[in-house]
């Protein structure tokens, strides 16, 4: 059972309601219904409403207007406030906003889910809550991706079909929307590729270097480590459009030399032909950085068969990380860490419950979106029919008719793409939950038995970063695996084994290390 409000709990609250688009707001899909539900709940709990915040924006990205105003009011309030919301995915569908709320230590009441989440909530309730956010984020991400897939014809024509990547700008070539090099940012992107190809930078170093030379997002922010990694892996910079896991010759000008790009891929993905023993797949090259100096950890073969890892020493040839370590020892440490993802029977059942509940939430959202799309499509078809009648009656010119017909037909096609995307996303949503379960339960065994390339892929899937210090690996896991790890295990002193426990471990290192 979820923890219920305790006596002497906060007596004032804020209401938050959200729909995904302005169209949904204008159609009156759910804002009024959400507010009515939240007001009724506040009255039942004798909570005084101090503010109501409404957004008609996607919850998958941070930066929503009213959400930000609500956060500001909480930060400035001298008394503790409660946030009342219909469901988890109405409040947020991204981890950044979840962290903001968590740092404020406020109590969250989700009315339809009949759950209260606060600083004193049971670990299992927090666990399910975090998993729901993860699943909701995946649904939004996947829906967006499926819509993009519907526009793949642009990519086949060599046209980059989305917002221009850093280093390029969107422009128009006659009737086509294309990309061209950004005169200010393109040279900076080229510099980053050149520096990383030299082997002197880790991904983290590359992010710092990008900030130092002035590479910024369109909003003027510095690029995160993950964004730099995606940039270095994107063939758009050598004139290739990658879309839906396919690559097509682009019509835009490249800004990175092909040889430089290939060298970057070797460093990032652990593929090299400079060992003297032909092409070899190294399991952990491109995964680890040196904890002492921050340089990349490189791999080498000795005696024709033994693989060793050490710091590149690009900054300091006397770096302690220059001491070599056998690949087998790293494998044992990574496998030991992955043991911590194996769920107890209780938490395994909790994850299944979270998956079922979240799937029901997404099915409801899909139904609402399908209704909206059907309504918009009907209006467009009616407009097209009326325009045709007006054209026959000579009430509009041929030129005006063709222009409006093309515009409305394009809108109708896009709505059709959205319908297809919603169908595909609903199926893949459940697949994500199964993938989390499968990875958490089988990763240790799969990892031990895997070849080098599979080991590399598993770690890229699970880890945000990994460093090597004194022969010991230290990692930071991606969500939701970080939550699974912190929720599920406590390291004890008996040779690096793990003990199951149902509670959170406050004070536990968020970057766990295996015992030496």
Strand order in the sheet with 306-311: 297-302, 306-311, 325-326
**408 or 149: which leads in pLDDT:** 408
Tokens of 495: 């040779």
Distances (CA, A) of 178 to 153, 154, 218: 14, 10, 18
Lowest mean pLDDT among 100-109, 136-145, 169-178, 286-295: 136-145
pLDDT in tens, 355-392: 666 666 666 667 777 887 888 888 888 888 888 888 88
Question: For position 375, what pLDDT does the model report?
Answer: 85
Q: Got the DSSP string for 103-162?
A: HHT-EEEETTTTEEE-TTS-HHHHHHHHHHHHHHHHHHHHHHHHHHHTTHHHHHTT---S
Q: Measured between alpha carbons, how far is 213 from 191 in angstroms, rounded to an integer?
A: 9
Give all domains of the chain, ordered by start, each with its CATH number. 12-120 (3.40.50.1390), 153-269 (3.90.1750.20)
* Position 412 pLDDT exceeds 60: yes
Question: For position 136, what pLDDT does the model report?
Answer: 73
Lowest mean pLDDT among 65-79, 206-220, 242-256, 395-409: 395-409
**347 or 399: which leads in pLDDT:** 399
Q: Measured between alpha carbons, how far is 298 from 295 in angstroms, rounded to an integer?
A: 9
**35 or 434: which leads in pLDDT:** 35
pLDDT bucket at 489, cuts 50 / 70 / 90: low
Q: Measured between alpha carbons, how far is 88 from 80 in angstroms, rounded to an integer?
A: 20
Q: Measured between alpha carbons, how far is 50 from 8 in angstroms, rounded to an integer?
A: 18
* Position 476 pLDDT exceeds 80: yes
Question: For position 151, what pLDDT does the model report?
Answer: 65
Count of CB atoms situated within 10 Å of the CB of 506:
6
Question: For position 314, what pLDDT does the model report?
Answer: 79
Taking the model in full, what pTM does it have? 0.48
Provide the pairing of β-strand 48-56 with 288-290. unpaired
* Position 45 pLDDT exceeds 70: yes
| CB contact at 8 A, 215 and 223 | yes
Question: For position 421, what pLDDT does the model report?
Answer: 64
Averaged confidence pLDDT in the chain: 77
Question: For position 436, what pLDDT does the model report?
Answer: 64
pLDDT bucket at 507, cuts 50 / 70 / 90: very low
Q: Got the DSSP string for 39-76?
A: HHHHHHTTPEEEEEEEEES-SSSS--HHHHHHHHHHHH
Question: For position 194, what pLDDT does the model report?
Answer: 92
* Position 273 pLDDT exceeds 50: no
């Amino acid at each position: 059972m979820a923890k219920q409000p305790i006596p002497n709990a906060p007596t004032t609250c804020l209401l938050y309601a959200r729909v995904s688009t302005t169209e949904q707001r204008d159609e009156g899909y759910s804002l009024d219904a959400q507010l009515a539900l939240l007001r009724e709940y506040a009255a039942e709990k004798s909570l005084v409403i101090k503010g109501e915040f409404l957004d008609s924006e996607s919850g998958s990205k941070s930066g929503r207007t009213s959400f930000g105003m609500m956060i500001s009011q909480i930060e400035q309030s001298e008394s503790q406030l409660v946030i009342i919301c219909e469901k988890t995915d109405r409040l947020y569908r991204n981890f950044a906003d979840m962290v903001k709320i968590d740092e404020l230590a406020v109590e969250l009441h989700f009315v339809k889910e009949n759950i209260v989440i606060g600083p004193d909530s049971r670990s299992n309730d927090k666990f399910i809550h975090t998993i729901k956010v993860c699943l909701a984020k995946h649904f939004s991400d996947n829906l967006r991706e499926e819509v993009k897939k519907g526009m793949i014809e642009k990519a086949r024509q060599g046209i980059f079909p989305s917002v221009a990547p850093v280093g390029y700008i969107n422009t128009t070539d006659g009737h086509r929307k294309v990309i061209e090099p950004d005169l200010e940012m393109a040279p900076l992107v080229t510099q980053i590729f050149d520096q990383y190809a030299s082997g002197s930078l880790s991904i983290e170093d590359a992010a710092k270097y990008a900030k130092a030379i002035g590479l910024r997002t369109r909003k003027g922010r510095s690029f995160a480590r993950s964004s730099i990694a995606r940039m270095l892996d994107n063939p758009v910079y050598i004139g290739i459009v990658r879309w839906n896991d396919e690559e097509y010759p682009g019509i835009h000008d490249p800004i990175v030399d092909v040889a430089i790009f290939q060298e970057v891929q070797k460093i990032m993905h652990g593929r090299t032909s400079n060992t003297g023993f032909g092409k070899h797949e190294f399991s952990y090259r491109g995964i680890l950085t040196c904890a002492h100096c921050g340089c990349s950890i490189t791999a080498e073969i000795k005696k024709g068969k033994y693989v060793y890892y050490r710091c590149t020493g690009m900054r300091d040839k006397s770096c302690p990380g220059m001491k070599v370590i056998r690949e087998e020892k790293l494998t044992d440490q990574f496998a030991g860490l992955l043991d911590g993802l194996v769920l107890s029977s209780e938490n395994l059942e909790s994850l299944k419950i979270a998956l079922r509940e979240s799937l029901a939430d997404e099915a409801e959202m899909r139904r609402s979106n399908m209704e909206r799309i059907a309504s918009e499509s009907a209006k467009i078809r009616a407009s097209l029919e009326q325009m045709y009648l007006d054209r026959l009656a000579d009430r509009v010119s041929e030129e005006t008719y063709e222009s409006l017909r093309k515009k409305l037909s394009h809108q109708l096609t896009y709505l059709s793409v959205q319908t297809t995307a919603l169908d595909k996303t609903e199926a893949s949503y459940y697949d994500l939950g199964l993938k989390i379960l499968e990875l958490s339960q089988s990763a240790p065994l799969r990892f031990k038995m895997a070849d080098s390339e599979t080991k590399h892929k598993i770690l890229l899937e699970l880890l945000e970063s990994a460093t090597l210090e004194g022969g010991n690996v230290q990692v930071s896991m991606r969500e939701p695996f970080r939550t699974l790890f912190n929720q599920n295990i406590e390291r004890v002193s008996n040779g690096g084994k793990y003990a199951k426990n149902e509670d959170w471990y406050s004070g536990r290192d968020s970057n766990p290390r295996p015992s030496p």
